[in-house]
Structure 1
Amino acid sequence: MKFRPLHDRVVVKPLDQEEKTAGGIIIPDTAKEKPVQGEVIAAGPGGRDDSGKVTPLDVKAGDKVLYGKWSGTEVKIDNVDYLIMRESDLLGVMA
């Protein structure tokens, strides 16, 4: 990917939801909810504090994260859908 996020922004690739429920019911595309899990593909260098010093991000490429349903901006890079959001929009890192 030829894209580098700036400041405290991260590029997240949403992870696909399961096609079936635990009971074996197949979920059609129209009934699926927006994903809330994703993988960080790229992260910016960090935000700046009041004195101008760069504070590094807590996430890095490869981290699996949770984010809000309506967080971020949807973009398509090389025919792949990504979300670009601020680190503060992330809810947490999955262990």
Structure 2
Amino acid sequence: MAANGALLAASGIGDVNKFGQGRYSLTTNTDVTRCALTGMINIDGGDDPGPGSASILVGAVSPRTLFVRTAAPSGPHPRTVDDDRPFSVRISR
């Protein structure tokens, strides 16, 4: 996933909605209720906007919807903690 919410490559993701700075909703093709969810900040082809550390939170909000929040807690002022970052999500059964 690119920082702007563009889907770069996917298997099992039907739709992406970027609804705020560092906030994304992903619709899956299958039920993820009992799946392990893993998120990783990417470098987006070497053009990651961050300095310092970055974090990602991935959670299921319904059987087919994931919430992803990306952040850059060490970003320069006035950047907020929530920050658009390129990321990957893995869904494991």
Is the structural similarity TM-score above 0.5? no
More helix by share: 1
Q: Which has the larger radius of gyration?
A: 1
TM (normalized to structure 2)?
A: 0.29
More strand by share: 2
